[in-house]
Structure 1
Amino acid sequence: MGDYKNRKKIVFYLFLLLVILNADQMVMSPVIGLIREEFAITDSHIGLIGGVFSIVGALISLVWGYLTDKYNRKWLLVSSILVGEIPCLLTAISNSYGQFFFWRVLTGIGIGASFPISYSLIGDLFSHKERGKIVSILGLASTIGGILGMLVAGYTANIFGWRIPFILVSAPNLILVPLIINVFEEPKRGAHEEGFSEISTEYSYTIKLSDYAQLIKIRTNLLLFLQGIAGTIPWGAIPFFMIELFRREKSMDLNQATTVFLLFALGSVTGNILGGFLGEKIYRKSKKFVPFISAVTTILGVFLTVAVFRYPYVESGIIGLITFGSLGFIAAAMDSYTGPNVKMMLLNVNEPKDRGRIFSVFNLTDSVGAGVGRLVGGSLSMVLGTLGAALEVTAYFWLACGFLLMLSTWYFEVDVENLNRKMRELAERGVVEKEENIVEK
């Protein structure tokens, strides 16, 4: 019981840290217009910041993923928080586009580093049958953090300007760091895997940089990596530019746009919760239906999202507003269902020694998609003339995501059983070696 309480405490603090850290990621979105005016830049410049922010952070996270599988994760997590939050704080003193660009890229490195560390910890704190809802909770941290960043900027920028929000979202984690150092404990690797949870033998392993190449030999990994690139192009562009879309093309002021975005974001939270909790239940009954249901909801989400962009809200009254908000809520819920299931699938087909690296690679594919999405969204708005048309184009990339998820239906269950069998064999081998050592002594 004590062990379970301690695990819940770690999840709570990890959730809190990630909420605040992910607020850094979206705090810029509501103040795009103010930043454009001050530095005399275009949507393409904004898209470039968003793209490089994600891509550089993801590339650096490959190194952090390797370190995660090798060294103490508590101290790596603390380091990633400092790397992310200090530059976010310093963004407020930027006096030029170049300075602003520099501090945002450094902030992206900290956020990218936290990703493999967090999911590696979860993999060693919970069994494969429990991970669905825990992954959902961590996914909520990202979503809620993004919402928090947008709300802070959306509701304070009109009063204090665009700089103060960057201070407000970064300072809390700097205060929490000493508490985390005292609360966090490093979990034993492999403690909750098949075979290891019933015996006291240690999970022994070695890691090499060359092991990165072995990860894509697991077919589920490869398919989820590819869908991560395709599926997150719209995730990179749509939330990033949505408030600006409402202001520019739906005739809303900043407060109205932020409030409507909040309704859409609540749909995303709902989808994330349903995805994690329903995904775990589906996993226990039929593993192959986890990717199948995710594929279906992703494809449905495409058409609902396109309907949101095409909805003529500017000509509508209160009924139009309710319809617009409800449509956005449902679309966001469908779009968000897949996220926690993808992460749960990755945890359940990879060894404990590989999870830091597998999530660093997934973060790379995820962030490349998000970064490219912001670049594409900003550039297409210049080419097509409207943000709505640009974001509609990015939404169609989710169709490729749904197709790849559908393909993974044929491989996921097999890869799970392969891992469970391997872990049982490693556990049995460890018991035999321990008994042989006792006999020799």
Structure 2
Amino acid sequence: MAQDKGLSLAETPVGTGRLFGGSVFAEASARQWYVLLVLSLIYALNIADRYVISTLMESMKLDLHLTDTGVAVLSGVGLALFYVTAGIPISWLADRYSRRNILAASLVIWSAMTVLTGLSRTFFQMLGARVLVGVGESGGTPPSTSMLADYFRPRHQTAVLTIWALGACLGAWLGQDIAGRIADAFDWRTAFLAMGVPGVVMGIIVFTTLREPKRGVMSDGNAPAAAPVEEAEVPQFSGLWAILRQMFADLLIILRQPATMHLIVGSALTALWGWGLMWWMPTYLQRTYHMTTGEAGAMLGPMQLIAGSLATVGTSLFLATPMMANPKRVLHLMALIVGLTTIPSFFIFWTHNLAITKVCLWVMVPAMYFYIGPCFGLLNNLVQPHLRAMVSAVTLLAANICNLVIAPMFVGMASDYFGGVKGGDAASLRLALMILAPTGFWAAWHYWYATKKIDAQLAVVRGAKQS
């Protein structure tokens, strides 16, 4: 593996201060752009699958005669059950074997299971489908971010990961607006079919058109601008025990890095706060303001696409300025934005006025997206190349436990509890979401505290790279 002699995070924390002029737009080849576009679309399909089920929760609840807790198990916990357990070993394999093949297989699996979700007729059939969706999705983001790190130079990572992160905005729009319109025009089962079939096709495209980049070459300051496409060397192991031992050794390296861990916990709590609230938002709008599935999706979808995209790109442009060359300022910005936008997120559920709700949502939604690019950009540069997929998986594991297990279950159980014998309704759901909203302050604290640990950790990482 080539030694990483490129710029350290202290020198270029998330980018280089030149995001467009003389940057990735001028230096990237057509193949690099193609890879970035495909991986962004895959990320969009990943997020669309998340949002389609949250958009359709109320319809599923009524059709299958479920409680709020029951629909939370199907919508979030079922997917996360195996996502959080399969993510680490799959990411470990992605750090050593063909990421392209792992990504293509994962995409086909989760997309086919999304189709099966729409075809399911019972609670347990659907739960099984969502478990397998989780297995597939666990092999999506870690290989993608690791491949991008090897296709583009370190100084381009902010721009590249920002463009990649726009897939989340597109996916949320597809899963809310488009899926909601399909559900109104046909039914909720058809919406699942419409979200799943394109992913199967995309999986075939990935396997036949993408090539595996050589690992670590783009970390070398003397590397060529065009990404090499040679297969990475695959280490040989004597048995399963040796593989597990090495996997846990890599995991321990990440867990012992304080700044990395505070960044991971902060991003997980941001997911608990922002994505957790948005998970129940279509249901909340339908119950509180008597909207149809399509009307709720049409209100929320454009917020995801427009506000989310503007926040993602705008944040990246701002971070690329010389003023933000210090990684501590990046972390302070993340703490400030999440902390301040926690306030309107609470008033979304405090008010009974739809106009005020819309204004608060337009303020809150951008905060859910702006941290993604900086977070993964910092993480990619905080660890060595052979740990990139692993640290990505650890981050996603923590985030998905928070926003797919804790948030849905807490809100669902709290809503059922507050609803009493009659079950969850608009009033009980409102109260449950008001309790969840202040967790944004907790996330902001971790971003702020990471600034106290990052200098010492960077010194250690730089020393390891130079050895």
TM bin (shorter chain)? 0.7 to 0.9
Between Structure 1 and Structure 2, how many residues are aligned?
418
Partners of 1:406 and 1:150 in 2: how far apart?
Answer: 33
Tell me, yes or no, if structure 1 residue 330 matches structure 2 residue 363: yes
Equivalent in the alignment of 1:34: 59
Equivalent in the alignment of 1:340: 373
Pairwise CA distance, 1:390: 1.4
Equivalent in the alignment of 1:377: 411
Equivalent in the alignment of 2:30: 5
Equivalent in the alignment of 1:405: 447
What is the TM-score when the length of structure 1 is the normalising length? Answer: 0.88
Question: Residues 93-129 of structure 1, C-alpha deviation per residue, up to 9 Å, x if partnerless?
Answer: 2111110111112112212211111111122122332
Partners of 2:323 and 2:107 in 1: how far apart?
Answer: 33
**Larger displacement relative to structure 2 (285-294 or 122-131):** 122-131
**Larger displacement relative to structure 2 (220-229 or 107-116):** 220-229
Task: Give the share of equivalent positions with the same residue, in percent.
Answer: 18
Equivalent in the alignment of 1:356: 389
Equivalent in the alignment of 2:101: 75
Match of 1:146 among 161, 172, 178: 172
Equivalent in the alignment of 1:286: 326
Equivalent in the alignment of 2:436: 394
Q: Which runs of 5+ in 2 are unaligned?
A: 1-25, 236-242, 420-427
**Partner SS for 2:29:** helix
Partners of 1:280 and 1:418 in 2: how far apart?
Answer: 25
Q: Is the 8 A contact 1:19 1:145 kept in 2?
A: yes
Partners of 2:169 and 2:80 in 1: how far apart?
Answer: 16
Runs of 4+ in 1 over 6 A off after TM superposition: 202-207
Equivalent in the alignment of 1:275: 315
Question: Residues 143-178 of structure 1, C-alpha deviation per residue, up to 9 Å, x if partnerless?
Answer: 321220122321111221111111111111212333
Pairwise CA distance, 1:299: 0.2
More helix by share: 1
Match of 1:52 among 78, 85, 88: 78
CA shift in 2, pair 1:404/1:303, >3 Å: same
Match of 1:25 among 50, 62, 66: 50
Q: Which amino acid aligns with 1:353?
A: H
**Partner SS for 2:218:** coil
Map 1:25-424; keep pairs closer than 5 Å.
Answer: 25-49=50-74, 50-195=76-221, 197=223, 208-209=246-247, 210-265=249-304, 266-281=306-321, 285-313=325-353, 321=355, 323-370=356-403, 371-385=405-419, 386-416=428-458, 418-423=460-465
Partners of 1:295 and 1:11 in 2: how far apart?
Answer: 29
CA shift in 2, pair 1:152/1:237, >3 Å: same
Pairwise CA distance, 1:413: 4.6
Partners of 2:198 and 2:233 in 1: how far apart?
Answer: 38
Partners of 1:126 and 1:418 in 2: how far apart?
Answer: 24
Q: Which runs of 5+ in 1 are unaligned?
A: 315-320, 427-441
Q: Which amino acid aligns with 2:303?
A: F
Q: Is the 8 A contact 1:132 1:277 kept in 2?
A: no
Q: Which amino acid aligns with 1:367?
A: N
Equivalent in the alignment of 1:433: none
Q: Is the 8 A contact 1:349 1:419 kept in 2?
A: yes
Partners of 2:322 and 2:67 in 1: how far apart?
Answer: 46
**Larger displacement relative to structure 2 (30-39 or 90-99):** 30-39
Q: Which amino acid aligns with 1:164?
A: T
What is the TM-score when the length of structure 2 is the normalising length? Answer: 0.83
CA shift in 2, pair 1:306/1:190, >3 Å: same
Q: Is the 8 A contact 2:112 2:196 kept in 1?
A: yes
Pairwise CA distance, 1:224: 1.9
Equivalent in the alignment of 2:13: none
Partners of 2:463 and 2:233 in 1: how far apart?
Answer: 16
Q: Which amino acid aligns with 2:94?
A: T
CA shift in 2, pair 1:9/1:196, >3 Å: same
